[in-house]
């Protein structure tokens, strides 16, 4: 085993030397730490696939200034500690100047720190917490292509306020993301509908396997509606456990955390609660624009999946921002690329996105809709569905 | 807040959770009591029980009693795996210090977790409840899921059956004797090694059953092995390693502390269980119902 | 000079020379290995020398890291003082926790160390206002006089070298010999009049102090401190490192740390299945090389009447 490793590392050294002696057409290396293991892999893996697809298409068109982009994808684990270590290894070993990746809110904060000390440009495709871009935490090297917790929480409040519900409960995972998005929801709710009351707040830990001790107290407070912020597998578990209590009939739910993703619909199938309002980053059936349709077809072909994953778009757009910024700056000099990124508007498959100069956040809205069973697909989807833009809700 | 029907409901929730824990922890306790090994990989066996159940459910599409057959086959598969591990690997470490056995089971955790990832990927799975048990039972003025109620009764029944078979039959007596004095028993002509394999088989079977039965209630995701093993450890420590009733008591306590602790200190419930574990280890290290060890 | 001392000198020269390679990466790896090596050696005081299996050693590492980082960031305490405070807090917590743990043996000892480590972890995870909660703690300031990577590396090398020197003195002293006697047979040692529990407790404290120092260095090195360094797999990881290197050798754990970090770095470049490789390596080790790498080497190159 050791011998194999020694030979393998020797070979890799040779390859590295060979590559670096290449000269012009030398690839632009972009580190991509992604969650490829554990609970977050459900979303981390498609995100990296989306990035890969973009890079392939971009390089086929000639790359930036004739140079192809090379993605260095590594498993960053589920914790910020691992993400930090992996990111630093990539930066120091592969000598990358650009980093795209991380997943959970804590990882976003951690990688932002790494970007600051190692002075590399970091674009966060998924981490939503506003803590990364708040004044005092913001620094020139960090950018966010994801939506932020303000946008998400407030969009949910907007939906909630459309209905005559006044007694509201919240249930969210007790960590950075859950706390921030719930806070955004509650504050906006108080602002746009002062008569609404928060009658109960439940805080299961992230990764809770048994939500039943939280369900009963919430139901006992007799709310009209609830704001949930569980995501991925956590949402799946919660739905299954809550269903027999008649939870979704008793309480109207507005859920952040991308419960409307086709991935979740396919995992839950008949157990997905119908009639709840939730969101997703991208759904393959909306919008009907030519760019989006083409993107979905390409994604289908690339992933060989009938119903392509919704998380791929996060990796896709993030790398797109970076690639086009490099093109605009006509250089890989970090300062120039930063300037190019600020205020950059790109045409993504879901429409135009702009990276705001003032706080390095993209005007990333999300798709919101109501879950329903439809004859066209073997799993529930969002119908009706609309895109809520972020512009007014971000600050 | 103290609305009696709601408190009762909360308590029942705690009880359901306690029963799942009990299934897993009793297997753990059995293996420790008889073989002297603290099996870190017990959580992994539980996880595999869930994954295999999901697999068999898709295999037995539309068969009557599909879910229960799947659980049976899945748990037997896990039990067989456990027997293989004991027979070909663990057995060779009995002569060594406990550290080696402990670390080997930890190595198993790493290997089995990766194996699950390689076979089933990193996606999340769910198993639908058996049709008969999909509904809920009215209790006072709340509803309690039927399936959970069934578990509350089924869990202990299964564990009781195993343990009392083990303890009241001839096999059972041999096994208990083996725990006390291996050499003596073996010199009396008993196949101690085979006994140990059987015990491991049974312990693994219980873990697999726990995993199978929990699959309609919880998402099957990577990471469920680590989560459950820590809780199982806490249960057996509180109750007493190697004591059946202790494990039962420990599960009840942990389940209730969990369910009711959320009402009292909603955001500290995480630490409670560990504090309880530490307290027991400090005041009464052999657990509430365990036997004081010969130091 | 004996053969071992020559090898040691060679290593020291090699370590001194690493920054001269101008590779930021090697300096990074080197610092990481030194810090974790110290951590592993501190564990081995308990494991290899006293025979106590601690499954919660990450506690002191974490306490050291958080203490030093918090003092420097929130209270602007100068680095040397923060480092000393980290060591002191490591000693105190080891004293308190150790007091309860040494009353137990074997599995129960291990379980209690695990329980305490989870409690400390839960505290760090939840106490948002103090520790930053699950987000951890970023932006740990670099001490001014060490603001370059290379200088920090030399400083770490210095601290680790001095620590190892002190620990080496400890294990080769009469105190150290009593520890190994306790490891071999606690009852008999008690019979000859040694207060076994007291010695175990002191060993616990010593290992806690140096683990805390390693942790403090790590916090600065990483510019951030996360609760994961307190979570129980971190304790398992340092156990594996120690075992890999060899628990019956003083420098074994350092070798183990170096090999593990290096292999992990290489393997993760090629595959995401590092955990399974780690698992197999560990199993392999347990079955065939219980003495670890150093044990294997010493058996191969043992001189008659071999020594440590």
Q: What is the pLDDT along chain A (395 residues), one digit of tens a residue?
A: 555 555 554 444 444 443 333 334 688 999 999 887 766 777 788 889 999 999 999 999 988 888 899 999 988 887 888 889 899 989 988 889 999 988 888 888 889 989 988 899 999 988 888 888 887 778 889 999 888 888 899 999 988 888 889 899 999 998 888 989 999 999 999 999 999 999 999 988 877 777 878 888 888 888 999 999 998 778 888 888 888 888 998 899 999 888 888 877 887 777 788 888 998 888 888 888 888 899 999 998 988 888 888 888 999 999 999 999 999 988 888 899 999 989 899 988 888 888 988 888 988 888 899 998 888 888 888 888 888 888 878 87
- Is the four-CA dihedral A72, A77, A82, A83 of positive or negative sign? positive
Q: How far is CA B196 from CA B102, B207, C224, in A?
A: 17, 17, 48
Q: What are B29-68's pLDDT values in tens digits?
A: 888 888 888 899 999 999 999 999 998 888 877 777 788 8
Q: Which residue has the tokens 């930066």?
A: A91
Structure tokens at A78: 């589920």
Select the residue of A207, A246, A267 nearest B125 (Cβ to Cβ): A267
d(CA B54, CA B42): 19
d(CA C4, CA B186): 47
CB contact under 8 A, A210 and B17: yes
CB contact under 8 A, C265 and A131: no
In sequence order, what DSSP letters do the residues of C60-106 get, joined into one string?
A: HHHHHHHHHHHHHHHS---HHHHHHHHHHHHHHHHHHHHHHHTTS-H
Which stretches does DSSP call E strand in chain B? Answer: 136-139, 142-145
The mean pLDDT value for B141-145 works out to 76
CB contact under 8 A, C135 and A36: no
CB contact under 8 A, B103 and C239: yes
pLDDT, greater one: B47 or B291: B47
d(CA A303, CA A310): 12
Q: What are C127-155's pLDDT values in tens digits?
A: 777 877 777 788 788 787 777 888 888 89
d(CA B71, CA C284): 33
Q: Which residues of A touch B210 (CB under 8 A)?
A: none
Q: How far is CA B57 from CA A109, B212, B288, C70, C219, in A?
A: 41, 10, 40, 52, 48
Assess whether pLDDT exceeds 90 at residue C119.
no
Q: How confident is the model at residue C306 (pLDDT cuts 50, 70, 90)?
A: very low
Q: What are B212-225's pLDDT values in tens digits?
A: 998 887 778 777 88
In sequence order, what DSSP letters do the residues of C177-214 get, joined into one string?
A: HHHHHHHH-HHHHHHTT--HHHHHHHHHHHHHHHHHHH
CB contact under 8 A, C133 and A131: no
A117, containing H or E segment: helix A105-118
Among chain A residues, CA nearest to C267: A5
The answer to whether residue B223 neighbours chain A at the CB level (below 8 Å) is yes
Q: Which residues of C touch A86 (CB under 8 A)?
A: 268
- Is residue B277 in a domain? no
Total number of domains constituting chain B: 1
CB C115 within 8 A of CB B278: yes
B55, containing H or E segment: helix B42-59
CB contact under 8 A, B111 and C243: no
Average confidence score pLDDT of chain C? 87
pLDDT, residue A148, reads: 87
Structure tokens at C303: 């001189």
The shortest C-alpha distance from A371 to chain C (Å) reads 32
- Is residue B269 in a domain? no
Q: How far is CA C228 from CA A172, C204, C256, in A?
A: 21, 22, 21
Spacing of C-alpha C97 from chain mean position: 17
pLDDT, residue C170, reads: 92
Structure tokens at C218: 């790590």
CB contact under 8 A, A80 and C224: yes
The shortest C-alpha distance from B143 to chain C (Å) reads 33
d(CA B240, CA B229): 16
- Is residue B293 in a domain? no
Q: How confident is the model at residue B266 (pLDDT cuts 50, 70, 90)?
A: low
In b/e form, how buried is each residue of A177-213, taking b as 16+ CB within 10 angstroms? Answer: bbbbbbbbbbebbeeebeebebbbbbbbbbbbbbbbb
pLDDT, residue B260, reads: 80
Q: How confident is the model at residue B9 (pLDDT cuts 50, 70, 90)?
A: confident
- Coil, strand or helix: which one is A358? coil
The mean pLDDT value for B82-109 works out to 86
Could you tell me whether strands A252-255 and A225-228 are parallel, antiparallel, or unpaired per DSSP bridges? parallel
The shortest C-alpha distance from C274 to chain A (Å) reads 10
Say which range, A342-351, B84-93, C8-17, C279-288, has the weakest mean pLDDT: C8-17
pLDDT, residue B294, reads: 46
In b/e form, how buried is each residue of C109-147, taking b as 16+ CB within 10 angstroms? Answer: bbbbbbbbbbbbbbbbbbeeeebbbbbbbbebebbeebe
CB contact under 8 A, B122 and A237: no
The shortest C-alpha distance from C100 to chain B (Å) reads 6
pLDDT, residue C296, reads: 83
CB A48 within 8 A of CB A7: no
Q: Which of A233, A193, A201 is nearest to A217 (CA)?
A: A201
Say which range, A38-42, C51-55, C178-182, has the weakest mean pLDDT: A38-42
pLDDT, residue C308, reads: 47
CB contact under 8 A, A212 and B124: no
d(CA A48, CA A55): 11
Express the helix, strand and coil content of chain B in percent, nearest 5 each: 75, 5, 25
CB contact under 8 A, A213 and B222: no
Task: State whether ipTM is beyond 0.85.
Answer: no
- Is residue B250 in a domain? no
Q: What are C69-91's pLDDT values in tens digits?
A: 999 888 888 888 999 999 999 99
Among chain B residues, CA nearest to A220: B6
Q: Interface of chain A against chain B, CB under 8 Å? A: 36-39, 41-42, 45, 78, 174, 202-203, 205, 207, 209-210, 212-217, 219-220, 232-234, 236-237, 240-241, 244-246, 263, 267-268, 270-271
In b/e form, how buried is each residue of A134-172, taking b as 16+ CB within 10 angstroms? Answer: eeebbbbbbbbbbbbbbbbbbbbbbbbeeeebebbbbbb
Among chain C residues, CA nearest to A139: C139
Q: Interface of chain A against chain C, CB under 8 Å? A: 1, 5, 8-9, 12, 36-37, 74-75, 79-82, 84-86, 88-89, 92-93, 105-106, 109-110, 112-114, 116-117, 131, 175-176, 206
Q: How confident is the model at residue C307 (pLDDT cuts 50, 70, 90)?
A: very low
Phi, psi of B33 (to 5 degrees): -60, -40
- Return the residue in C110, C127, C286, C295 with the most chain B beta carbons within 10 A, the one to mutate for interface testing: C286
Average confidence score pLDDT of chain B? 82
Q: Which residues of C touch A128 (CB under 8 A)?
A: none
Q: Which residues of A touch B267 (CB under 8 A)?
A: 174, 203
Q: What are C240-273's pLDDT values in tens digits?
A: 999 999 888 898 899 999 999 989 888 887 877 8
The mean pLDDT value for B155-168 works out to 79
CB A142 within 8 A of CB A162: no
The answer to whether residue B258 neighbours chain C at the CB level (below 8 Å) is no
The shortest C-alpha distance from C88 to chain B (Å) reads 23
Which stretches does DSSP call E strand in chain A? Answer: 28-34, 69-75, 98-100, 121-124, 142-144, 167-171, 197-202, 225-228, 252-255, 277-280, 345-348, 351-354, 366-372, 381-388
Cβ atoms < 10 Å from Cβ of A258? 25
C138, containing H or E segment: strand C137-138
CB contact under 8 A, C279 and B111: yes
The domain of B91 spans: 4-237
Q: Which of A257-261, B111-115, B278-282 has the highest mean pLDDT?
A: B111-115
Which stretches does DSSP call E strand in A151-293? Answer: 167-171, 197-202, 225-228, 252-255, 277-280
pLDDT, residue A6, reads: 54
How many CA atoms does the CB half-sphere of A252 hold within 13 Å? Answer: 16
pLDDT, residue B280, reads: 83
Could you tell me whether strands A381-388 and A366-372 are parallel, antiparallel, or unpaired per DSSP bridges? antiparallel
Select the residue of A1, A12, A109 nearest C138 (Cβ to Cβ): A109
The shortest C-alpha distance from A362 to chain B (Å) reads 29
Q: Which residue has the tokens 């299934």?
A: B23
Q: Which of B113, A10, A86 is nearest to C264 (CA)?
A: A86
d(CA A241, CA B215): 11
Question: Whole-model pTM?
Answer: 0.84
- Is residue B220 in a domain? yes
pLDDT, residue C144, reads: 78
Torsion angle defined by CA atoms of residues A258, A263, A265 and A270, in that order, rounded to the nearest 10 degrees: -140
d(CA B281, CA B128): 40
Q: How far is CA C30 from CA A373, B55, C261, in A?
A: 57, 46, 10
């Amino acid at each position: 085993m050791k011998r194999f490793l020694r030979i393998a590392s020797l070979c890799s050294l040779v390859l590295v030397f060979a590559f670096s002696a290449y000269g012009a057409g030398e690839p632009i290396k972009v580190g991509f730490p992604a969650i490829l293991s554990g609970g977050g892999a459900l979303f981390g893996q498609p995100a990296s696939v989306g990035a890969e697809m973009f890079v392939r298409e971009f390089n086929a068109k000639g790359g930036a200034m004739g140079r192809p982009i090379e993605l260095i994808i590594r498993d960053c684990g589920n914790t910020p500690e691992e993400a930090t270590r992996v990111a630093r290894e990539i930066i120091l070993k592969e000598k990358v100047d650009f980093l795209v990746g991380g997943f959970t809110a804590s990882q976003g904060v951690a990688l932002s720190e790494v970007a600051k000390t190692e002075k590399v440009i970091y674009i966060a495709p998924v981490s939503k917490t506003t803590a990364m871009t708040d004044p005092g935490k913001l620094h020139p090297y960090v950018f966010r292509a994801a939506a932020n917790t303000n946008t998400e929480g407030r969009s949910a409040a907007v939906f909630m306020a459309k209905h005559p519900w006044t007694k509201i409960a919240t249930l969210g995972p007790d960590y950075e993301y859950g706390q921030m998005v719930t806070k955004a929801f509650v504050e906006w709710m108080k602002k746009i509908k002062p008569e609404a009351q928060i009658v109960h707040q439940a805080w299961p830990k992230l990764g809770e396997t048994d939500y039943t001790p939280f369900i009963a107290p919430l139901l006992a407070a007799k709310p009209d509606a609830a704001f949930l912020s569980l995501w991925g597998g956590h949402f799946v578990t919660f739905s299954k456990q809550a269903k027999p209590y008649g939870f979704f009939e008793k309480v109207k739910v507005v859920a952040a955390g991308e419960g409307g993703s086709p991935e979740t619909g396919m995992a839950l199938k008949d157990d997905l609660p119908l009639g709840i309002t939730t969101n997703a980053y991208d759904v393959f059936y909306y919008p009907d624009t030519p760019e989006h349709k083409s993107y979905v077809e390409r994604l289908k072909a690339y992933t060989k999946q009938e119903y392509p994953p919704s998380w791929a778009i996060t990796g896709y757009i993030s790398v797109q921002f970076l690639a086009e910024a490099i093109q605009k700056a006509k250089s890989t000099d970090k300062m120039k690329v930063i300037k190019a990124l600020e205020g950059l508007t790109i045409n993504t498959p879901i429409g135009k996105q702009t990276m705001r100069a003032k706080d390095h956040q993209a005007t990333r809205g999300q798709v919101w809709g109501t879950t329903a069973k439809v004859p066209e697909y073997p799993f529930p989807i969002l119908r009706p569905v609309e895109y809520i833009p972020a512009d007014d809700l971000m600050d | 807040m103290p609305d009696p029907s709601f408190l009762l409901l909360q308590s029942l929730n705690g009880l359901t959770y306690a029963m799942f824990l009990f299934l897993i922890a009793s297997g753990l306790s059995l293996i420790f009591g008889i073989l002297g090994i603290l099996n870190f990989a017990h959580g992994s066996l539980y996880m595999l029980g869930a994954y295999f159940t999901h697999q068999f459910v898709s295999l037995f599409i539309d068969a009557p009693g599909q879910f229960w057959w799947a659980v049976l086959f899945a748990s037997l598969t896990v039990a067989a795996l456990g027997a293989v591990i004991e027979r070909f690997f663990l057995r060779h470490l009995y002569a060594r210090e406990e550290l080696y056995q402990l670390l080997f089971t930890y190595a198993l955790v790493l290997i089995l977790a990766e194996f699950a990832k390689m076979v089933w990927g990193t996606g999340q799975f769910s198993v639908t409840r058996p049709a008969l048990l999909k509904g809920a039972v009215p209790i006072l003025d709340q509803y309690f899921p039927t399936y959970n109620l069934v578990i509350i009764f089924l869990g202990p029944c299964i564990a009781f059956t195993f343990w009392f078979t083990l303890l009241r039959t001839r096999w059972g007596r041999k096994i208990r004797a083996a725990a006390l004095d291996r050499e003596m028993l073996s010199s009396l002509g008993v196949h101690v090694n085979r006994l140990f394999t059987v015990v491991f088989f049974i312990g693994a079977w219980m873990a697999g059953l726990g995993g199978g039965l929990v699959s309609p209630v919880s998402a099957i995701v990577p990471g469920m092995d680590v989560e459950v093993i820590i809780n199982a450890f806490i249960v057996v420590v509180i109750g007493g390693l190697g004591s059946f009733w202790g494990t039962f008591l420990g599960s009840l306590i942990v389940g209730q502390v969990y369910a009711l602790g959320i009402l009292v200190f909603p955001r500290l419930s995480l630490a409670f269980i560990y504090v309880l574990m530490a307290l027991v280890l400090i005041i009464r290290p052999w657990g509430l119902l365990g036997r004081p060890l010969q130091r | 000079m004996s053969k071992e001392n020559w090898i040691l000198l060679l290593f020291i020269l090699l370590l001194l020379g690493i920054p001269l390679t101008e590779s930021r990466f090697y300096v990074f790896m080197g610092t990481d290995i030194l810090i974790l090596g110290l951590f592993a050696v501190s564990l081995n005081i308990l494991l290899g020398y006293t025979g106590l299996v601690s499954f919660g050693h990450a506690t002191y590492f974490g306490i050291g890291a958080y203490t030093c980082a918090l003092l420097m960031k929130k209270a602007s305490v100068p680095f040397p003082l923060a480092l000393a405070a980290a060591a002191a807090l490591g000693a105190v917590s080891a004293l308190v926790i150790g007091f309860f743990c040494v009353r137990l043996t074997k599995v129960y000892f291990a379980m209690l160390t695990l329980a305490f480590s989870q409690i400390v972890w839960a505290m760090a995870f939840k106490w948002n206002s103090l520790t930053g909660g699950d987000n951890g703690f970023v932006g740990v300031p670099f001490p001014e006089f060490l603001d370059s990577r290379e200088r920090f590396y030399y400083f770490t090398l210095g601290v680790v070298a001095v620590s190892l020197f002190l620990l080496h003195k400890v294990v080769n002293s009469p105190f150290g010999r009593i520890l190994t006697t306790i490891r071999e047979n606690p009852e008999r040692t008690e019979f000859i009049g040694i207060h076994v529990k007291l010695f175990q407790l002191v060993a616990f404290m010593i290992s806690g102090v140096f683990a805390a120092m390693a942790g403090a260095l790590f916090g600065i090195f990483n510019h951030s401190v996360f609760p994961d360094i307190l979570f129980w797999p971190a304790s398992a990881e340092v156990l594996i490192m120690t075992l890999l290197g060899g628990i019956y050798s003083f420098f074994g754990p350092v070798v183990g740390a170096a090999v593990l970090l290096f292999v992990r770095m290489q393997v993760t470049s090629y595959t995401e299945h590092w955990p399974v490789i780690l698992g197999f390596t560990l199993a392999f080790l347990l079955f065939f090389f219980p003495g670890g790498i150093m044990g294997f080497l010493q058996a191969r190159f043992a001189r008659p009447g071999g020594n440590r």
